[in-house]
Amino acid sequence: MMLSRRGFLAASAAAVLVPAYGERARAAPLPREADIVVIGAGAAGIAAARRIIAAGRKVIMIDAAPQLGGRCQTDLSSFDVPYDRGAAWLHNPESNALVKLARGAGLDVASAPPGQKLRIGRRNARPSESENLLVTLVRASRALDEAARKADIACAAALPRDLGDWTSTVEFLLGPYASGKDLKDLSALDQYRAQDRMAMVACRPGVGALLGKLGEGLPVALSTPAQRIVWSNRDVAVETPAGRISARAAIITVSSNVLGSGAIKFAPELPKRHLDAAAKLSLGSYDRIALQLAGNRLGLAKDEIVIERSSDARTGFLFANIGGSSLCTVDVAGAFGRELAQQGEAAMIDFAKEWLGKLFGSEAVAGVKHASATRWNANPLVLGAMSAAQPGGQSSRRVLAEPLGNLFLAGEATHETLWGTVEGAWDSGERAADAALKRLGGAKSSEPEQPPARKKPVKRRPPPEPRPSSSDFWPGSR
């Protein structure tokens, strides 16, 4: 069994101050008219803009941030290797259009590590202990699936009560790590209907770098927030600090939290049905603490993953020696991660050192050369990490994707099976572009390039009886 649940992080408000791929891009002069205006220059927005251009239609993409990428940001200068402050993994490479595009652009794509270490206090787990965790995860996942077939209840209500010493570890892996929220706040049906993310790859230059590459040459106005959108069944007007853009349609790719925050005004106002859907798909909390150590003080291999048998929610997920460097990241999530991030970057770094010291000894973190932490909840342009449906809220994904006149909503929150992933956001952007183009009458000068054939969504199935090994419980979707 591979515990391959979601991944779609975001970066802190401070991220815009860190040199990242795409910041060198210069905003284009703002056109006053376009066939379609795309709001948001992340994965969904870039996918939509490319699709519209391929159809021979005029598009302008705007974003309030000073760089492309949205919740995918690669820091190129803080450490000695590229560091993804947001999304770090791509899934299912055989069917993932982004993997094919990365390879076509000459970017190095590497398979994720096949497994990870489990720590119990200051020692590595014995094989029998790792197998015990795997079996416990299988049992917990089956319980969630069985409950989801009956009703859309909270995952916490379906979790077996006799998980013993593995309770906190299982709760972290199935809840905060997977979706940025604790199990009590997660829809069991949303988890059940999510497409498997079994095979994963890393883009070595960074996922943010990949999106920057795919966004090269697109007509984009950066540092240009949409302030007010006037919409109807005929046309759309987007008001920005740089002026007003008139278009026949608009594709909106902002996060569900930003959509519901009122940061963008709509005239007429968005229907309550869509606002309620956005609220039920609010973003979880997921942040990354990066530590540049002096040498390999943890004694781990290149790209090694470490989790612990935790006794409470104060735990993390370690990705060590990234790309063969001495950079290590500790991911924190859920209610604990949110509370920690609210205390500030210094408190987050202190926790990472304390946590690593508990697992590897205080001498292991004595030589931290440089440290950094994301705080995505504090970023007003995102307000969180990935969308996570609340109990009873799974159907809200389809509602959020419903067109409104000449408005089309996109982004990972609108994808019913690949929510929380870069490829889910990308696919939603292409889908919204196709719908907008159809509304406008299709391609203008030539037929658009055909997208890769979309396979029927794959539901998670109850896993077979496991024959576990210590490397079988990879929980990496980040």
pLDDT of residue 29: 67
Q: Which two tokens stand for residue 321?
A: 């020696």
Indicate the pairing of strand 220-221 with strand 117-120: unpaired
CA within 13 Å, CB half, 451: 21
- CA end-to-end span of the chain: 17
- Give the mean model confidence (pLDDT) for residues 252-259: 98
Give the C-alpha separation, 211 to 109, whole Å. Answer: 14
Domain boundaries, the chain: 13-80+82-91+98-107+204-282+387-440
Q: Which two tokens stand for residue 299?
A: 């004694």
Give the C-alpha separation, 194 to 175, whole Å. Answer: 14
Report phi then psi at 196, rounded to 5: -60, 145
- Least confident piece of the model among 26-35, 332-341, 387-396: 26-35
Q: Please give the share of the chain, as a percent, with pLDDT higher than 90.
A: 76
Q: Are 377 and 333 in contact (CB under 8 A)?
A: no
Based on its alpha-carbon atoms, the radius of gyration of the chain, rounded to whole angstroms, reads 22
Sheet containing 109-111: order of strands: 90-91, 200-203, 109-111
Residues 158-185 pLDDT 10s = 999 999 999 999 999 999 999 999 999 9
pTM: 0.88
Q: Are 464 and 166 in contact (CB under 8 A)?
A: no
pLDDT of residue 476: 36
DSSP 466: P
Look at residues 102, 42, 39 and name the one whose alpha carbon lies nearest to residue 71: 42
Residues 2-11 pLDDT 10s = 333 333 222 2
Buried b (16+ CB within 10 A) or exposed e, 254-280: bbbbbbbeebbebeeebeeebbebbeb
* pLDDT of 463 above 90: no
CB atoms inside a 10 Å sphere around CB 478? 26
Residues 61-118 pLDDT 10s = 999 999 999 999 999 989 988 989 999 989 888 889 999 999 999 999 888 776 689 9
- Least confident piece of the model among 51-55, 410-414, 441-445: 441-445
Report the CATH fold assignment for 13-80+82-91+98-107+204-282+387-440. FAD/NAD(P)-binding domain (3.50.50)
Q: State how far the alpha carbon of 35 is from the alpha carbons of 234, 251, 311, in Å.
A: 12, 11, 56
**SS3 at position 331:** strand
Give the C-alpha separation, 53 to 117, whole Å. Answer: 46
Give the C-alpha separation, 439 to 233, whole Å. Answer: 10
Buried b (16+ CB within 10 A) or exposed e, 84-96: bbbbbbbbbbebb
- Give the mean model confidence (pLDDT) for residues 410-433: 97
Q: Are 68 and 41 in contact (CB under 8 A)?
A: yes
> What confidence tier does 19 reach under pLDDT thresholds 50, 70, 90?
very low
pLDDT of residue 80: 86
Q: What's the chain's average pLDDT?
A: 87
pLDDT of residue 465: 38
H/E element holding 240?
strand 236-240
Q: Are 219 and 36 in contact (CB under 8 A)?
A: no
Longest dimension (CA), the chain: 66
pLDDT of residue 382: 97
